[in-house]
Structures are given as structure tokens and as C-alpha cells.
């Protein structure tokens, strides 16, 4: 094991030649160009942040660099020499390691076993594992990155930051010179982020380069030496410490504001609230109050873990509130489970359509009437379903939601993502829901269907329903929300209305900053 | 297989989906035609056909109950023990009451009582599996040990003899109405009731939804955990009913070895059924086809005088073929 020499070698290389250079990379997927002549340069010892919205091409470029995906055109150079990386093994040989958000380690194995995963283990007599040698080797590996951990501990027992650091230690032990971190801090507490950053700085000083992908701008400004911004698969700016200021970076990320796009904003309505939330408290939600009026599309925005998504889960009875009051039409609601919420007239379109919403292998009709079968019963005792009325209800939903399907008996899996989503949204028309909680309703939906879904949401609101909307894509809020509550650390950090609802404003508040007055 | 590979993609596509849907039914028909052709004078008679149905009726009752359990995605390995439990307990209660007092009303009461006891065991299974999150395979295996042990203890390993059981009970397994054996009638009734339940009632549809996507079902307001109790209760009741028919047929209450035969065969039948008509889904009609297939193979081979070890081999091969045909549909998606 020569754990310490790899970074030293890296530091010794000529500083003018970048460690990694991506030249004019192009990646085409059927129907779309995910990367359009992207350049990226990472020097040894540099912490380089890669920024961009969802779909900007960050994940794609990482996959192309580490060989998980083939490229359409362009070159990857390591130390100035073109390389071809087509597998994780080749990436490792080239000195590139990727640390994903989850799933880097096997939770049921010890730290020592994880560190040696996939490598020949030291043996006794060529057969049995030499545990003592294995642990000694693990201690050396950990010591090389100043990590104090018992190699015998199971990885599943480690804190998230320790897991990330063990993964980094493993990468360093395998002579990685470029470590790609994909949203490493998403699951970490602030204190844990600090320990991870300390380790990154230590390794960077020894010449290891980091390519760091994150949504959290505050952290990026704290740790990054340089920043590359991608937008719609193209380079949208590159900044170093001197030129990096928040406004420039944010405007590079969001690009031209969405004001020019077709908006579907419902007018902000006045009058009494349909749903009223007072001082709602739960883990990650610290005293949230707001009113939702009929006819309104209210956005709840925020970074992952900010509480925006959790508020939706609380309002649907998916998780339980510790304290707080929720009233519907002035009457207090008790939400112990989703069934309570549905009875009260609340509907949820969950974020992960395939895992949480679609009944695979079943027809469009069965997917639509899933929550409302009790409305089509022939009798209350045996609970036989009236097939004719059920089919009629499914046909009505298909027509009203403009679901493009050969018929209501078509298997839902045969539909496009957008049409599946319209069916899943439409299932709540049959329960008589008045409050719609929509979590990323246009995720994994093509552009045309997106516009249709925006229109349907606007129509829902126009018909008197109240819509609470959140999305992983910030650009959607200005398109459909008349008012947006921006969450940060479990609280509503700011409320934007009308023209104030812009991507830049949302991102600024979500990052924990206050809006500058122009 | 190689044939479908060489045909035009469009045609191979359809053939594949056709085979996945109708393959098992076609093979069942092919088997019947084959045996009829080989031994027309013995196999292809009304009497032998009724005989086949009678032979599979107990297996069918148990397998149809198991179908309900698999619809929600849970396994139940306690059905063998529960069948033994049903048969022995019914015989034991009737023995205690005395064969002379065994009027049809008393027998009906005992049958309902035993069914109720089985339902309680099934509900305990369901509660442990869904509320405590224990693996259904292991939990129901453990329950089968407990039930088997309890019966051995209660019976002191002594079989209840025919003279101790009233005729009103034995009729369940030995009598017939309009020439159709009672076990076959019970099978048909069970199949129709559970088919209606699963396909045409809200609880049945909800069970299919749970099997399709648990989280989506929960988010649609379906009490997912409670349905495990219902499904495993129904499954246990069917197993006990099958056991009672077996005891009535035998005219004796055996404390061991009654249900074990049916456990694995029931799984085979249900999985063959899941590759029929609606590939990848468990349903009563499919299970019925699977049960008939097992009955036809066993009867046909023995009618032809083929050594019984062939029955096992043929069943195994057919099950694998059925699973392949079902997986071809899923692979294509």
C-alpha cells in the first residue's frame, strides 16, 4: 500500500497542465442533446464546484467523465493526454473516483471490509482471510486521510459524514487524484458538513482535486476554489475566487428569467382561506403558518430538507405533526394517515410517480379509480363495484385531463410519462378533492406535456380548488405560482408574490440570504 | 425458442405475448388430448374426469386461498399445517360430542367453529407480518411449527378412527349431488366466491392494488396493513376447509402429514396460474388452471402406468416453463 505517494505525485506534476480537461463534450440522448460542447478544466489540488439546475447536464457530464455513459463527441484529457474511459475499472485506473449521495458503502460490512471491497484480501495460507492484516491495512488507509475510526465498525452504524469520508479514504487509497462528489452534503447536518470540508481541504492541500456538485450555494462559496456553471447542457460561466460573487453565479445558473415564458399564473385570490396552517411543527419543520385560498396556486419552495416537501407530507398525513393546527373551511383537521386526508378532500401527487403513484401492470381505469372505488359500489355490505359507473368515471377523467390513451382499459405502462401523470393527477377528481398537493408534477415529463399539466393545474385552480405546489425545478414556480413561500431550515424564510416570484429571488432566499433591494 | 427469434420482430412479438397469455391453457388442452389419445378407454371418460376433479379438489381449495394471500404480495407457508389442523380439529370436536350426536346442524357448527379458529390463526399471521414487519415466509413457517406441534400434543399422536366420526361429516368428503362429488362442489363454490371477491368487490380490488404498488395504495387511502390480516385470514380458512374435506374424505382425523402434500403443490398451482391469461398476476381462474394441470398430469401418467417419480419431474419442468413464459412478458416491458 502506497497510500501517501499518489497525492504527492499529483502535486509534483506540472501545474500548467490541468489534471482533468474535458473538451467540447457532446452527449445526445434520443430527442435531446444533454451536453452541447461543454468544456471543463480541473487542476490538481483544486476544489471545483459544478453548478446548474436539475437537467442542466451535471449528472450527465459526471457519468461521461467516469465512463458510466458513452459520449457522442469530445475528448477527456488526463494530465494533457487523451484517455478513453468506458468502465468504473478504467476510471479507477485513470485516478478518478465518484462519491455518490448514497450507496457507496455496504452497510452490513465493516469499515475495513468496505475499504478493501473488490480487492484481493490478505490471506492466511492462501485461503482464510487474515483479519488482523486487513484491519492493519484499513487503519493505515484511514490514517492517511487523518480519519479516526475503528475499522471494525459496521458502515451502517456510521454517521453520514463518516460514510462520505470513508468513501473518500477508499478513493485516496486507490490512488484517486480526482474525486467527484455528487451532492455529498444533502444528507448531512451543518456540523457534519464542516468535518467533511475539513477533510476535503486537507486532501486538496496534498494535491487531490475535487469536482463538487451541489445545490447549496452557501457551501459552494465556502469551499470552492473555482466554479463552473452549466445551463441547458451548455457552459454558462466559469468563475474563480476573484470573480465569484453570488449574484453573477445565480444569474449564470438561472439564465434569462422565465418572465418571457408563457405563464399560467392564477390571480392571487383574496377572501377566506380554504386550508389554514398554524404553527405546524415536526422534525425539520419549525413553526410554519400560512393560508391557502380557493383558486390559488401557492408554491412552497426550498432546498431538499428545508421543510417545503415535509409540509406536504404533513398535510397529507404521510408523516405526523408534533404540534400545530390545520383547519379546512375553518374546521380543525386530524390527519393520522392518508385516508384521513383523502376523506377531508385533500389530494397528493407524490414526487416519484413510478414508485409512489402508478399501479404497474394495471389499466388506466384501475389507476384512476384507485382511491375512489367506494364511490362506485352497488351495495354497502358486500361492496361489489359497479363496473359501468366505474368505467364512466374513468372515461370522464380521461376526457377532462386530456389523457392520450387508446382507451381506459389500456395498461398504464403503455402511456407516456406525461399521460401517466395526467391520469395520476386525475384520479383525485373522482374523490372530490378540493385541496391539491402537487410535488414535482412535471418530473420526467416531456416539454409538451409539461405545458399541458401547467394548464390543467391552472384549470383546477380556476374551478375553485386550492393548489399547493412544490418542485425540484425552481424555474417552475414563476410559471404557475402567484405566490411562493420560500423555506429554509424548516421555516418560511420569505414570501414572494406576483412579479417578485423569480428563480433568482427564490434561490437567494432558499440559500439563507435576504433579498437585496434594487 | 429459436423459432421465435428468427421470425420477423412484429410477428415474434405477438407470438410471445400470445404464448405468455395462453401457453398454460394450451398445454393443459394438449395434455388432455395427449392422454385421451393414449388411453381413450380409461382417461377420456366422464367418470375419470370427475375423478380428476375429485382428486384435485382439496388442493384446489387450498391453492385458491393461497392466491388471495399472494395477491397482496405475502407468502403463507402455514397452509399445510393449517390443513392438518382443520381436519384433525373437526374430527376431534365431533369425537368429543360423540358420533351419535353428530347431526348435520352440529357438524355445520363444528365446521364453522374450526374455520373461525383458522381465521384467528391467519389474522395472527397477518398482524405479525404487517404490523411488526416480520418476513412472511419465516413467520408463517414458524406458525406452521407451532400449529403442527399443538396438534401432535392435543392428539397425543393418535388418529381419530372412522367409527368416532359421524356420517354427516364424512358425507362432506364422500357424498355427491347429482353425480358430482361434494369436494368438487365445495371447490367450485370456493372458487366462485373468491373470484367474485377478488375481481368485483372493493376489498378485492384494493388487494390487487396493494400487490401492484404498496406505497401508491397507501397514498390512495387504502389501509394496507389491515388488508394483510384479511388476506391471511382468508388463506388460513381455505387451508382449514381443505383439511376438513380431506378428513371427511378419509373418514379419519389424522394429526400429522395431511396438509404437507398440499403445501408445495398449492404454490406450484398458483404460480402456474400467474402465468395464465394475465401474466405476472395471481388470480383465481389461473390458479384453477394450475390445479387442473397438476390433476391431469398425475392422473394421466398413472393411468398410462408411468412410474410416479415422473409426476414430480413433469410437474417441475412445467412449473419452470410457466415461470419462463411469465417472465418473458415482464422482460419485454
Q: Are A253 and A229 in contact (CB under 8 A)?
A: yes
Chain A CB contacts of B281 below 8 Å: 361
Mean per-residue pLDDT for A231-253?
86
Query: 3-state DSSP helix/strand/coil percent for chain B, to nearest 5?
Result: 80, 0, 20
Better pLDDT: B47 or A8: B47
State the Cα torsion A395-A399-A402-A408 to the nearest 10°: 20
Q: Over the stretch A281-319, which tens digit does the pLDDT of each residue have?
A: 998 899 999 999 999 999 999 988 889 999 999 999 999
Residue B245 has pLDDT above 80, yes or no: yes
A interface with B, Cβ–Cβ below 8 Å: 316, 318, 337-339, 341-343, 348, 350, 355-362, 366, 370-371, 373-374, 377, 382-385, 387, 413, 427
Mean per-residue pLDDT for A175-192?
82
Chain B CB contacts of A377 below 8 Å: 202
Chain B, 264 to 283: residues with Cβ < 8 Å from chain A are: 280-281
Note whether B220 contacts A342, CB cutoff 8 Å: yes
Note whether A366 contacts B205, CB cutoff 8 Å: yes
3-state secondary structure of A363: strand
Q: Quick one: cell of A361? A: 401492470
Q: Is B333 on the interface with A (CB under 8 A)?
A: yes
Residue of B nearest to A413 (CA): B333
Lowest mean per-residue pLDDT among A337-346, A366-375, A501-510: A501-510
Note whether B221 contacts A338, CB cutoff 8 Å: yes
User: Which residue range(s) make up the domain with B54?
Assistant: 28-332
Neighbours of B234 (CB within 10 A): 25
Q: State the Cα angle at A81 between A239 and A181, rounded to 5°.
A: 45
Note whether B333 contacts A366, CB cutoff 8 Å: no
Residue of A nearest to B333 (CA): A413
Q: Over the stretch B274-320, which tens digit does the pLDDT of each residue have?
A: 888 887 789 999 999 999 999 999 899 888 888 888 888 988 888 78
DSSP states along A22-50: EEEEEEEETTEEEEEEEEEEE-TT-EEEE
CATH of domain A256-345+434-518: 3.40.50.300
Note whether A355 contacts B215, CB cutoff 8 Å: yes
Note whether B220 contacts A384, CB cutoff 8 Å: no
Note whether B212 contacts A361, CB cutoff 8 Å: yes
Q: Are A487 and A307 in contact (CB under 8 A)?
A: yes
Residue B111 has pLDDT above 90, yes or no: yes
Rounded to whole angstroms, the Cα distance separating B220 from B204 reads: 15
Between the alpha carbon of residue A70 and those of residues A27, A67, A181, the distances in Å are 8, 6, 20
Rounded to whole angstroms, the Cα distance separating A516 from A499 reads: 15
Q: Which element (helix H / strand E) includes A180?
A: strand A178-182
Burial class (CB in 10 A: 0-12, 13-18, 19+), B18: exposed
Q: Name which of B278, B258, B276 is nearest B318 in CA terms.
A: B276
Chain B CB contacts of A382 below 8 Å: 201
The pLDDT value given to residue A362: 93
Q: Which three-class secondary structure string do you get for A251-269?
A: HHHHCCCHHHCCCCCCCCC
Neighbours of A510 (CB within 10 A): 23
Rounded to whole angstroms, the Cα distance separating B288 from B29 reads: 14
Between the alpha carbon of residue A398 and those of residues A78, A125, A453, the distances in Å are 54, 69, 13
CATH number of domain containing B182: 1.10.3470
Note whether B201 contacts A382, CB cutoff 8 Å: yes
**What's the ipTM?**
0.84
Q: Is the pTM of this model over 0.90?
A: no
Note whether B216 contacts A356, CB cutoff 8 Å: yes
Band (A260; pLDDT cuts 50, 70, 90): very low
Give me chain A's average pLDDT, please.
87
Number of cross-chain residue pairs from A and B with Cβ atoms under 8 Å apart? 74
Q: Over the stretch A110-162, which tens digit does the pLDDT of each residue have?
A: 999 999 888 888 888 888 888 999 999 999 999 988 888 999 999 888 888 88
Residue A38 has pLDDT above 90, yes or no: yes
Q: Which element (helix H / strand E) includes A371?
A: none
Answer yes or no: is B153 within a domain: yes
Answer yes or no: is B6 within a domain: no
Chain B, 181 to 210: residues with Cβ < 8 Å from chain A are: 196, 200-203, 205-206, 208-209
Chain B CB contacts of A343 below 8 Å: 221
Give how far A353 is from chain B: nearest CA, Å: 9
Q: Name which of B318, B136, B295 is nearest B211 in CA terms.
A: B136
Note whether B200 contacts A350, CB cutoff 8 Å: no
Q: Over the stretch A470-494, which tens digit does the pLDDT of each residue have?
A: 998 888 898 899 899 999 989 999 9
Chain A CB contacts of B199 below 8 Å: none
The pLDDT value given to residue A3: 44
Q: Is B47 on the interface with A (CB under 8 A)?
A: no
Answer yes or no: is B278 within a domain: yes
Answer yes or no: is B113 within a domain: yes
Q: Over the stretch B178-228, which tens digit does the pLDDT of each residue have?
A: 999 999 999 999 999 999 999 999 999 999 999 999 999 999 999 999 999
Answer yes or no: is B250 within a domain: yes
Q: Which three-class secondary structure string do you get for A377-420?
A: ECCCCCCEECHHHHHHHHHHHHHHCCCCCCCCCCEHHHCCHHHH
**Count of domains for chain B:** 1
Rounded to whole angstroms, the Cα distance separating A361 from A151 reads: 46
Q: Name which of B7, B12, B28 is nearest B322 in CA terms.
A: B28
DSSP states along A192-258: HHHHHHHHHHHHHHTT-EEEEE-S-HHHHHHH-SEEEEEETTEEEEEEETTT--HHHHHHHHH-S-G
3-state secondary structure of A338: helix
- B108 sits in the region (left: phi over 0; alpha: psi -120 to 50; else beta) called alpha
Band (A54; pLDDT cuts 50, 70, 90): confident
Give how far A98 is from chain B: nearest CA, Å: 30
Q: Which CATH class is domain A5-106+176-255?
A: alpha beta
Q: Quick one: CA dihedral A128, A131, A133, A135, positive or negative?
A: positive
Answer yes or no: is B217 within a domain: yes
Residue A517 has pLDDT above 60, yes or no: no
Chain A CB contacts of B217 below 8 Å: 359, 370
Each domain of chain A, given as residue ranges in start order, spans 5-106+176-255, 256-345+434-518, 359-432
Chain B CB contacts of A366 below 8 Å: 205, 208-209
Residue of B nearest to A358 (CA): B216
Amino acid at each position: 500500500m502506497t497510500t501517501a505517494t499518489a497525492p504527492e505525485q499529483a502535486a509534483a506534476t506540472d501545474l500548467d497542465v490541468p489534471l482533468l480537461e474535458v473538451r467540447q463534450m457532446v452527449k445526445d440522448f434520443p430527442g435531446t442533446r444533454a451536453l452541447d460542447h461543454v468544456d471543463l478544466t480541473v487542476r490538481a489540488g483544486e476544489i471545483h464546484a459544478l453548478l446548474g439546475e436539475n437537467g442542466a447536464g451535471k449528472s450527465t457530464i459526471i457519468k461521461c467523465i467516469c465512463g458510466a455513459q458513452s459520449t457522442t463527441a469530445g475528448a477527456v484529457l488526463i494530465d494533457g493526454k487523451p484517455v478513453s474511459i468506458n468502465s468504473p475499472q478504467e476510471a479507477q485506473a485513470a485516478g478518478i473516483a465518484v462519491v455518490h449521495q448514497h450507496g457507496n458503502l455496504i452497510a452490513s460490512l465493516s469499515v475495513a471490509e468496505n475499504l478493501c471491497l473488490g480487492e484481493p484480501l490478505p490471506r492466511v495460507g492462501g485461503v482464510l482471510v487474515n483479519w488482523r492484516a486487513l484491519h492493519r491495512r484499513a487503519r493505515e488507509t484511514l490514517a492517511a486521510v487523518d480519519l479516526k475510526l475503528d475499522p471494525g465498525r459496521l458502515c451502517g452504524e456510521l454517521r453520514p459524514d463518516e460514510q462520505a469520508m470513508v468513501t473518500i479514504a477508499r478513493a485516496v487509497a486507490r490512488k484517486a487524484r480526482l474525486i467527484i462528489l455528487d451532492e455529498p452534503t444533502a444528507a448531512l447536518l451543518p456540523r457534519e458538513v464542516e468535518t467533511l470540508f475539513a477533510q476535503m481541504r486537507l486532501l486538496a492541500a496534498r494535491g487531490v482535486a475535487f469536482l463538487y456538485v451541489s445545490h447549496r450555494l452557501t457551501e459552494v462559496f465556502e469551499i470552492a476554489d473555482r466554479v463552473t456553471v452549466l445551463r441547458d447542457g451548455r457552459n454558462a460561466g466559469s468563475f474563480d475566487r476573484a470573480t465569484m460573487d453570488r449574484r453573477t453565479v445565480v444569474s449564470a445558473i438561472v439564465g434569462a428569467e422565465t418572465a418571457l415564458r408563457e405563464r399560467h399564473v392564477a390571480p392571487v385570490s383574496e377572501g377566506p382561506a380554504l386550508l389554514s396552517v398554524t404553527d405546524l411543527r415536526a422534525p425539520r419543520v419549525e413553526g410554519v403558518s400560512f393560508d391557502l385560498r380557493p383558486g390559488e396556486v401557492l408554491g412552497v419552495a426550498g432546498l431538499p430538507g428545508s421543510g417545503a416537501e415535509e409540509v406536504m407530507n404533513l398535510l397529507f398525513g404521510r408523516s405526523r405533526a408534533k404540534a400545530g393546527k390545520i383547519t379546512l373551511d375553518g374546521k380543525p383537521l386530524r390527519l393520522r394517515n392518508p385516508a384521513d386526508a383523502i376523506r377531508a378532500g385533500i389530494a397528493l401527487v407524490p414526487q416519484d410517480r413510478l414508485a409512489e403513484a402508478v399501479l404497474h401492470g394495471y389499466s388506466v381505469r384501475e389507476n384512476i379509480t384507485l382511491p375512489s372505488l367506494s364511490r362506485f359500489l352497488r351495495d354497502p355490505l358486500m361492496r361489489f363495484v359497479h363496473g359501468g359507473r366505474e368505467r364512466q368515471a374513468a372515461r370522464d377523467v380521461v376526457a377532462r385531463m386530456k389523457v392520450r390513451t387508446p382507451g381506459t382499459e389500456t395498461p398504464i405502462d403503455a402511456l407516456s410519462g406525461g399521460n401517466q401523470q395526467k391520469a395520476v393527477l386525475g384520479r383525485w377528481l373522482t374523490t372530490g378533492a378540493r385541496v391539491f398537493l402537487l410535488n414535482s408534477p412535471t418530473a420526467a415529463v416531456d416539454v409538451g406535456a409539461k405545458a399541458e399539466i401547467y394548464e390543467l393545474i391552472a384549470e383546477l385552480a380556476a374551478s375553485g380548488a386550492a393548489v399547493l405546489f412544490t418542485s425540484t425545478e425552481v424555474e417552475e414556480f414563476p410559471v404557475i405560482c402567484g405566490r411562493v413561500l420560500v423555506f429554509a431550515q424548516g421555516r418560511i424564510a420569505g414570501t414572494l408574490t406576483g412579479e417578485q416570484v423569480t428563480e433568482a429571488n427564490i434561490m437567494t432566499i432558499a440559500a439563507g440570504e435576504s433579498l437585496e433591494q434594487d | 425458442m429459436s423459432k421465435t427469434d428468427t421470425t420477423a420482430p412484429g410477428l415474434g412479438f405477438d407470438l410471445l405475448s400470445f404464448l405468455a397469455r395462453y401457453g398454460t391453457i394450451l398445454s393443459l388442452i394438449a395434455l388432455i388430448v395427449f392422454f385421451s389419445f393414449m388411453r381413450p378407454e380409461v382417461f377420456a371418460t366422464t367418470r375419470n374426469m370427475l375423478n380428476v376433479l375429485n382428486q384435485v379438489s382439496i388442493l384446489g381449495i387450498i391453492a385458491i386461498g393461497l392466491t388471495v394471500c399472494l395477491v397482496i404480495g405475502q407468502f403463507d407457508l402455514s397452509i399445510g399445517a393449517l390443513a392438518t389442523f382443520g381436519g384433525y380439529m373437526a374430527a376431534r370436536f365431533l369425537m368429543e360430542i360423540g358420533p351419535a350426536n353428530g347431526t348435520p346442524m352440529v357438524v355445520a357448527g363444528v365446521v364453522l367453529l374450526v374455520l373461525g379458529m383458522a381465521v384467528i390463526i391467519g389474522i395472527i399471521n397477518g398482524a405479525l407480518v404487517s404490523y411488526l414487519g416480520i418476513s412472511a415466509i419465516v413467520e408463517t413457517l414458524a406458525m406452521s411449527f407451532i400449529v403442527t406441534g399443538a396438534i401432535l400434543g392435543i392428539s397425543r399422536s393418535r388418529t381419530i378412527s372412522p367409527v368416532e366420526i359421524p356420517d354427516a361429516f364424512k358425507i362432506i368428503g364422500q357424498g355427491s349431488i347429482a353425480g358430482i362429488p361434494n369436494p368438487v362442489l365445495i371447490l367450485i363454490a370456493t372458487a366462485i366466491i373468491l373470484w367474485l371477491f377478488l375481481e368485483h368487490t372493493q376489498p378485492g380490488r384494493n388487494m390487487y392494488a396493494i400487490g401492484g404498488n404498496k406505497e401508491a395504495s397507501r397514498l390512495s387511502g387504502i389501509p394496507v396493513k389491515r388488508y394483510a390480516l384479511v388476506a391471511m385470514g382468508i388463506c388460513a380458512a381455505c387451508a382449514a376447509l381443505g383439511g376438513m374435506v380431506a378428513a371427511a374424505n378419509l373418514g379419519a382425523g389424522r394429526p400429522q402429514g395431511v396438509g404437507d402434500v398440499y403445501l408445495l403443490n398449492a404454490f406450484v398451482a398458483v404460480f402456474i396460474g400467474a402465468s395464465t391469461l394475465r401474466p405476472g398476476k395471481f388470480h383465481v381462474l389461473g390458479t384453477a388452471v394450475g390445479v387442473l394441470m397438476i390433476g391431469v398430469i398425475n392422473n394421466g401418467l398413472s393411468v398410462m402406468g408411468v412410474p410416479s417419480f415422473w409426476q414430480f419431474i413433469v410437474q417441475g419442468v412445467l412449473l419452470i416453463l410457466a415461470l419462463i413464459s411469465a417472465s418473458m412478458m415482464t422482460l419485454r416491458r
